[in-house]
A and B are shown apart, each in its own frame.
Chain A
Amino acid sequence: MENENNLNRWQDFRRRLADNDIWYSFKHTPMAYISAITGITLIALAVFAPLVAPQNPFDLASLDLFDASMPPSWMDQGDPRFLLGTDDQGRGILSTIFYGLRISLFVGFTSVFLSLLIGVSLGLISGYIGGRVDAVIMRIADVQLSFPAILIALLIDGVFRTVASKEIHEDLALYVVIFAIAISGWVQYARTVRSSVMTEKIKEYVQAGQVIGLGSGRIMIKHILPNVLGPVFVIGTLHLALAIIIEATLSFLGVGLPPTTPSLGTLIRIGNEYLFSGEWWITIFPGATLIILSLSVNLFGDWLRDALNPKLQ
């Protein structure tokens, strides 16, 4: 009985998917599925880094200084063990990229999730309750919007550096960066959600909920929230690329993640020092990975925005 029910649900889901315009648009837009495949491949490489990477670049015992500064394997003096060459400490660039991707994506996803959480809840409250609550939240948002995101992230990181000792800072740097990026991004979600809530809350299905006697919280979360999430996911994907780039920028400037847990941005910074001594591969390959990652996420977000926009259909 239960099994049959599940089967029915699955068939029902398949039917809906075949009927769905967004899925149809996805299948028929090369840009969408190519960027999705690229993005998913990169995420898979990052998640399974310990399994797919040829070496573990953080296992100091496996490093050999004799392997240092080798060019990519297809060049003279290249070594087939290191497809994309090695850095000054003998770490394989390919492996460091896999591990770096891990950190970059972790920072990206968690910070987007955090700012989405803050932004959506504040936007929902602001739009539904209105009045003074709305005014206060929106003025805070306005003030924050007048600072560039990178500046806010720098500020938070700087404050943390002065209050925390060096050891604590090394340990917590990752979370400080996530927090800094999350705080700099919530405004966009809050504004978008607020305006959608304001158009949704006067619709009759909300009034129907009030007539039944449902409380404000229930109406907000169960009825209004699912109807305003569409644009939020679009901003979320675009913001994911931005968050990864902000993290890379912070790390490149040397205020982000320490070299012991290198993200793509840290790798680019380390490599940058060797760029003029001819060892271009140390910085170019992580840089290219960053570009491919953010481009595929961005293109996917662009497609999602167009697909969800009824005016463009």
Chain B
Amino acid sequence: MSLLEIKNLTVKFPSRKGDFTAVNDVSLSVEPGEILGIVGESGAGKSTVGNAIISLLDPPGYVSGGSVWLKGERIDDLDENLKSAIRGKRIGMIFQDPLTSLNPLETVGAQLIETITLHLDIDEKAARARAIDLLNQVGIENSEERVDQFPHQFSGGMRQRVVIALALCSDPEVVIADEPTTALDVSIQAQILGLLRKLCEDRNVGMIMVTHDMGVIAEITDRVAVMYNGKLVEIGKTDKVLYNPTHDYTKSLISAVPRPDKKSHRFPLVTYIEDVKERPEDLKLSDMWLGKTRDYEEFDGPMLQVENLKQDFVVKHAIFKRNHKYFTALKGVSFDIKQGEVFGIVGESGSGKSTIARCVTGIYEPSGGTVSICGTDLNKLEDKSRQNYYRRQTQMVFQDPFSSLNGRMRVENIIAEPIIFHKQATNKTEVKKIVDELLETVGLGSNAAQKFPHEFSGGQRQRISIARALATRPRFLICDEPTSALDVSIQAQVLNLLKDLQEELGLTMMFISHDLPVIRQMCDRVAVMQSGEILEIAETEALFNTPQHSYTQSLLGLMPKFRTVS
């Protein structure tokens, strides 16, 4: 008898266009002390499985078939009161975002004590002692003191520890963790995963770990279930599934994960996804508007020169300027990007890498230092038309494909806007022709022009975003985490596209990412950033093989241990 068993679970979401089957006939089981990973891309139904176990499906979803058994006892058909008694007491939960899973108005202790007294029959004093003990177990120092602090006084990683303590309050038999480390930086992720592994072993708890990240799966799970389109396609020992997959989908999914250990020319494509559409082979950029010689003045020096760049943000306004309080995002950063080079910037969240991109593109005005494109400092340039001349050369691809396109505009108008604004075409038919060519170039086809952004998937929107960036025929393209919001299979496609464009158009590129394997695949030279400073700049291979700075070394050490065999 397994600790937790799911038999033939089917979950449906009714809508006016018919029922959508989110989970289709899934069966799995968890043993005590075991960590079972559920991995899959967005829309695979992995989170829905977790939610169905604890009967917390988002309305209007419902379980239309199958059963859930906890220690041989059926729990999915109990009435709501009995279910909520099991939830939190016998099954603990850890959610993705530690910011929203704690109540900001109550102290951490109050939240722990409330949960403990709710599930265990002990008085408040004993509950408090237990709360402190739990905080100790999840690795929070000075827990006597910190138990009376509010969530905002804890850092992201510490908060996730509190959430874990909360899940462990009542000695649950099963813990369901839904993307517990996705919102955290790699260094903290490693600590949290280590903690979860240890707690599972010490307390003999069975855990279901829902994640999209192959690295996390390789790191801590014993067995893994791979889901695709609501179906369980493969389940087995982690080592076997990762290094010797049998199902085609698992194979292609694993091959799309960027390799941290060596640079390969292109990413293998996941052919299992319907979304796949490569650029037609016979498309010659040199025959198109995009490939024609650009009318920019020749310049010999570096594309971009950043010298001692500083950026402060006002965090607290005051009537007089001298009383403002500032946060320093960049503490004097200097680097050059040569023409035709792909320059990577890597760092954890808050390191200031996106701020650099926004200073270079003129979204922020730097508080100090200079940013020169082709030897010209735009912020000192008075002439509007000259400013536009340089603006046109520098374009940017943004991180979030959902907010980077104006939802009220048709794709055609989104891409046409920069062409018209910079007077790149003389009449409407010409603009239309260029837009169609651009859409073709990024692999969308010209019938995308009449649609609105919400009719596209994340990866397709990112292609639209790239087409818009190309619409001014830039020489310098800035990519700010262009694939961090995408699934690995889509990421592989988008990165291939960027690589092709960079090579064929001879673009200079600044590529910002927190993901080291992606940086290794894309960049010629890399800068490592931490809290507003550049610690190290080196050629990519040199950086990965012989890192100089201790921070770089520790970052590299934290890279996912997962290696592909092929």
Contact = CB atoms under 8 A, between A and B. Distances in A.
Nearest to B452: A16
A223 interface: yes
B406 A205 contact: yes
B450 interface: yes
Contacts of A214: 417, 421
A213 B392 contact: yes
A212 B403 contact: no
A207 B417 contact: no
Contact of B398 (A208, A213, A226): A208
A2 interface: no
Contacts of B418: 212
A24 interface: yes
A1 to B, nearest CB: 12
A208 B404 contact: yes
Nearest to A213: B391
A12 interface: yes
B396 A208 contact: yes
Interface string B384-398: 000110011011101
A59 interface: no
A139 interface: no
Contact of A210 (B362, B388, B409, B465): B362
Contact of A205 (B16, B388, B404, B422): B404
Contacts of A205: 403-406
A159 interface: no
A204 B388 contact: no
A223 B406 contact: yes
Interface string A10-30: 001000000000001000000
Interface in A192-219: 203-205, 207-214
Looking at B16, B394, B399, B418, the one whose CB has the most chain A CB atoms below 10 A away is: B418
Nearest to B317: A131
Contact of A208 (B362, B391, B408, B468): B468
B499 interface: no
Interface string A147-175: 00000000000000000000000000000
Given A12-B450, A24-B16, A213-B392, A207 B398 contact: yes
A227 interface: yes
A276 B424 CA distance: 77
Interface in B237-268: none
A221 B80 CA distance: 51
B422 A204 contact: no
Given A204-B398, A204-B400, A212 B408 contact: no
Nearest to B471: A212
Nearest to A8: B450
Q: How many A residues are at the interface, by size bracket?
A: 10 to 19
Contact of B362 (A204, A211, A223, A227): A211
Contacts of A212: 391, 395, 417-418, 421-422, 472
A227 B408 contact: yes
A6 to B, nearest CB: 14
A106 B224 CA distance: 68
A211 B406 CA distance: 14
Q: Which secondary structure dominates chain A's binding surface?
A: helix
A90 to B, nearest CB: 55
Nearest to B401: A204
A221 to B, nearest CB: 12
Interface in A210-257: 210-214, 223, 226-227
B422 A227 contact: no
Contacts of B472: 212
B361 A211 contact: yes
Contacts of B422: 212-213
B391 A227 contact: no
A212 B405 CA distance: 13
Interface in A1-55: 12, 24
B43 interface: no
Interface string B355-367: 0001001110000
Nearest to A218: B421
Interface in A53-87: none
Contacts of A204: 398-400, 403-404
B506 interface: no
A96 B178 CA distance: 67
A211 B363 contact: yes
A80 B361 CA distance: 77
Nearest to B480: A204
A213 to B, nearest CB: 4
B361 A226 contact: no
B407 A227 contact: yes
Contacts of B468: 208
A8 B342 CA distance: 44
Contact of B363 (A24, A210, A223, A227): A210
A245 B394 CA distance: 55
Interface string B16-57: 100000000000000000000000000000000000000000
Contacts of A209: 417
B403 A203 contact: yes
A214 B468 CA distance: 14
Given A204-B399, A205-B403, A210 B408 contact: no
A66 to B, nearest CB: 61
Nearest to B389: A213
B228 to A, nearest CB: 27
A212 B398 CA distance: 13
A226 B413 CA distance: 14
A214 B404 CA distance: 15
Interface string A164-194: 0000000000000000000000000000000
Contacts of B363: 207, 210-211
A279 to B, nearest CB: 53
A212 B301 CA distance: 24
A227 B403 CA distance: 12
Contacts of A226: 406, 408-409
Contacts of B405: 205, 208
Contacts of A211: 361-363, 391, 394-396
Contacts of B406: 205, 223, 226-227
A289 B228 CA distance: 60
Contacts of B387: 213
Nearest to B17: A19
Contacts of B404: 203-205, 207-208
Nearest to A208: B404
Nearest to A28: B16
A108 to B, nearest CB: 28
Interface in B533-557: none
A6 B408 CA distance: 20
A175 to B, nearest CB: 34
B142 to A, nearest CB: 36
A268 to B, nearest CB: 43
Given A213-B387, A213-B421, A213-B422, A207 B400 contact: no
Contacts of B399: 204
B424 to A, nearest CB: 11
24 contacts: A24-B16, A203-B403, A204-B400, A205-B403, A205-B405, A207-B363, A207-B398, A208-B404, A208-B465, A208-B468, A210-B361, A211-B362, A211-B363, A211-B391, A211-B395, A212-B391, A212-B418, A213-B387, A213-B391, A213-B421, A214-B421, A226-B409, A227-B406, A227-B407
Given A207-B396, A226-B409, 9 more contacts: A204-B403, A207-B361, A207-B363, A210-B362, A211-B362, A212-B391, A212-B418, A213-B421, A214-B417
Interface of B: 16, 358, 361-363, 387-388, 391-392, 394-396, 398-400, 403-409, 417-418, 421-422, 450, 465, 468, 472
- CB-based closest 4 A-B pairs: A204-B404, A213-B391, A226-B408, A204-B398
